[in-house]
Amino acid sequence: MTHDVDLGRYAVHTDLALEAKEMAEEAGNPIPGVLTETSEADGIKVTRLEVQNEAGSQAIGKVIGKYVTFEVPELRTHDSELGDKVATRFAQEFERFLQQLSVPANASVLIVGLGNWNVTPDALGPLVVENTMVTRQFFELMPDQVAPGYRAVSAVAPGVLGITGIESSEIVQGIIEKTKPDVVIAIDALASRSLERVNTTIQIADTGIHPGSGIGNKRKGLTKDILGVPVVAIGVPTVVYASTLVNSAFDMMKEHFRKEQGDTSQLMGLIDQLAEQERLALVKEVLSPLKHDLLVTPKEIDQFIEDIANVIASGLNAALHEAVDSSNVAAYTH
């Protein structure tokens, strides 16, 4: 997230580590220091990816850390049974993720829902906040009476700079200083390189939120360095840049020709020989009559966002509280 994939040939921004790795592989680069492990069941593909060292970080343009990606192509079909399965899988994986980070089972948690209430594809974070079970108030008011199996969870949606006049990270810092959570979980809507990832992919990362990531205008990040506590980031691509959509269509076309004819130079002419970076610059120039590089989103975005916010909120409720039955996650969401 801090640096884009940029190896001489690459300058396509992506917030997803898995996508960054795939792009580096497509470019034929060697990928040292990046481990992946994939499992698939029930239409849910889970990839655990670890950037182990600086070489790996350089190779794919992502900071050192652990990443888990859920890919569920059918998540856009508004199938509530599949939604429950994804939430359950998410809960299991998230619990494991916290354990790997040595976050104790009773560590207090602050959930931060980044983004703008009034812009549907950017409302993911606030929607998750609205649907998670908060318990911190009971621990504050009557710590002796809280049933076992719960931990102190609080949740805020700090808004965006254009509405508040304050950086989200400053608001969160202020709240952390007052409430002293042990760990922060930050949820954010992302821009993806490919339209098929929009609202079908969820990424968990232990790297926090880096400046310039996400679809808003984040100039400061939410990281352990800044906040003083570990920050787990949950991101979902909800939009795609018009330019990356066009650019990736070129790639798909090239791949298409390659499969059919083995050679693409004649078909695609010089475009084929442009470096990725140059080609993207060309696409951006060509799309410039659109004034600014538009972020686009599927027209059914209202339903998609609601569905995926429910999945994440249900998953978090089950992962954070032992007392919440992870086999029936939906029952605890409002």
**Window of 45-53, 61-69, 288-296, 308-316 that interacts with its own copies by CB under 8 A:** 288-296
**Residues 6 or more apart whose Cβ sits within 8 Å of residue 143:** none
Task: Select from 15, 122, 206, 276 the one that contacts its own copies (CB under 8 A).
Answer: 122
Question: Cα-flanking dihedrals φ and ψ of residue 280, to 5°?
Answer: -60, -40
Q: How far, in Å, CA of 71 to CA of 199, rounded?
A: 10
Q: Does 281 bind its own copies (CB under 8 A)?
A: no
Q: Does 302 bind its own copies (CB under 8 A)?
A: yes
Q: Which of residues 224-253 bind its own copies (CB under 8 A)?
A: 239-240, 242, 245-246, 249, 252-253
Q: Does 325 bind its own copies (CB under 8 A)?
A: no
Closer by beta carbon to its own copies, 23 or else 240: 240
Q: How far, in Å, CA of 44 to CA of 41, rounded?
A: 5
**Consecutive H or E run containing 155:** strand 153-156
**Residues 6 or more apart whose Cβ sits within 8 Å of residue 72:** 43, 44, 45, 82, 86, 200, 201, 202
Residue whose C-alpha is closest to residue 97's, from 204, 229, 253, 175:
204
Q: How far, in Å, CA of 209 to CA of 179, rounded?
A: 20
Q: Which of residues 11-40 bind its own copies (CB under 8 A)?
A: none
Task: Select from 53, 269, 323, 328 the one that contacts its own copies (CB under 8 A).
Answer: 269
Least Å distance, CB 303 to its own copies, is 7
**Window of 8-16, 29-37, 38-46, 294-302 that interacts with its own copies by CB under 8 A:** 294-302
Q: Does 173 bind its own copies (CB under 8 A)?
A: yes
Residue whose C-alpha is closest to residue 250's, from 8, 12, 3, 76:
12
Q: Does 331 bind its own copies (CB under 8 A)?
A: yes
Least Å distance, CB 63 to its own copies, is 25
Task: Select from 64, 298, 322, 325 the one that contacts its own copies (CB under 8 A).
Answer: 298
Q: Does 154 bind its own copies (CB under 8 A)?
A: yes
Closer by beta carbon to its own copies, 121 or else 208: 121
Q: How far, in Å, CA of 64 to CA of 82, rounded?
A: 32
**Residues 6 or more apart whose Cβ sits within 8 Å of residue 137:** none
Q: Does 78 bind its own copies (CB under 8 A)?
A: yes
Task: Select from 6, 130, 322, 325 the one that contacts its own copies (CB under 8 A).
Answer: 130
What is the C-alpha end-to-end distance of the chain, expressed in Å?
32
Q: How far, in Å, CA of 120 to CA of 143, rounded?
A: 38
Closer by beta carbon to its own copies, 30 or else 289: 289
Tokens 């950017």 correspond to 122
Q: Does 157 bind its own copies (CB under 8 A)?
A: yes
Q: Does 196 bind its own copies (CB under 8 A)?
A: yes
Q: Does 64 bind its own copies (CB under 8 A)?
A: no
